[in-house]
Amino acid sequence: MAPSPKILMGEKKSDSGDLLRDTLDLLILKTLSRGAMHGYGIAEYIHDISDDVLRVEEGALYPALHRLELRGWLAAEWGVSENNRRAKFYRLTVAGRRQLADETAHWARMSAAIARILEPA
């Protein structure tokens, strides 16, 4: 099992919400694998596709986006949105794609393990 990237970076961690943060990263990366998007678009997409179950708070979204950009998994560019407004678009980099594959596999392993535990004995 590959160590969490956060351990590599030695970033300041909050005690709770690590799992949530990792998951958010995964969602963002997957969303952007479909093409470049701005922050609002990412939030709306996740909200829509998850049938209103998952709602990403702005307070969590933007720190996550910037963090991912700092790590080189996303690249950012200013462009024009669908309604002619200036917006910052994020897209996946090559390293980001690799990271997405890693995290997806990790997530699959985790959920399979949890499912096994939750199975009626």
Partner 1 sequence: MSRESLTKFWLRIKALVVRRRLDRDLEEELQFHLVMRAEKNGSEGSGPEEARAAARRRFGNVALLKEICRELWTFAPLETFWQDVRYTIRMLLKNPGFTTVAILTLALGISVNTTIFSVVNTMLLRKPPVQDPDRLMMVSTIDPTLNFNADQSGVSAPDYLDWRAQSGSFAGMAAANFDTVTVSGDVNPEQLPAARIAPDYFAVAGVAPALGRPFLPGEDQAGRDHVVILSDAIWHSRFGSDRGVLGRTLKVNGAEYSIVGVMPASFHLANFPSKLWVPLVFTRDNLSDAGRADRWLNVFARLKPGVDMPRARSEMQSIAGRLAANHPATNKDRGASVKTLQQYCIEDNGANSALAFLMAAVAFVLLIACANLANLLLARNNARRREFSIRSVIGAGRFRLARQLLTESVFLSLLGGGLGIGLGYAFLRLILSRFNWNADTVAMAQEITMDTHVLAFTVALSIFAAILFGIAPALQISRGNSASDLKEGGRGSTAGRAHHRLQRILVVGQLALSLFLLVGASIFVESFIEEIHAKEGMNSRNLLTATIPLRGLEYLKPDRQREFAASMLQHTANLPGVESAAISTDLPFNFPGSTHFIVEGHDVASVEDAPHCGYFAVSQNYFSTTQIPLLQGREFTSADSADAPPVMIVNEAFARKYFPGASPLGQHIRFGPDPTQTKNWSEIVGVVGNVSEFLGQVQPSPELFVPLAANPTPLLRVIARTQTAPLTLADSLRGAVWTVDSGQAVTEVRTMQRVVTDSGGGDDLMAELMGSFAGIALVLGAIGIYGLLSYLVGQRTHELGIRMALGANPGEVLRLVIRNGMSLVVTGVAIGFLASLALPKLVTAGFQDMRFHGGWVLALTPPIVLLVGLVACYVPARRAMRVDPMVALRYE
Four-CA torsion 33, 78, 45, 91, nearest 10 degrees:
10
3 versus 120: smaller Cβ distance to partner 1: 3
Please choose, out of 16-24, 27-35, 78-86, 106-114, the segment that lies near partner 1 by the rule CB under 8 A. Answer: 78-86
Please choose, out of 13-21, 25-33, 83-91, 102-110, the segment that lies near partner 1 by the rule CB under 8 A. Answer: 83-91
Q: What is the CA radius of gyration of the chain?
A: 15
- Cβ burial of 9 (10 Å; 0-12, 13-18, 19+) is exposed
The C-alpha atoms of residue 29 and residue 20 are separated, in whole angstroms, by 14
Per the CB < 8 A criterion, the answer to whether 104 and 26 are in contact is yes
Residues between 4 and 23 that touch partner 1 (CB under 8 A):
5, 8-9
Measured from the CB of residue 116, what is the shortest distance to partner 1 in angstroms? 33
- Interface with partner 1 (CB under 8 A), residue from 20, 63, 79, 101: 63
Residues forming contacts to partner 1 in the complex (CB under 8 A) are: 5, 8-9, 38-40, 43, 57-59, 62-63, 66-67, 69-72, 78, 81, 83, 85-88, 95
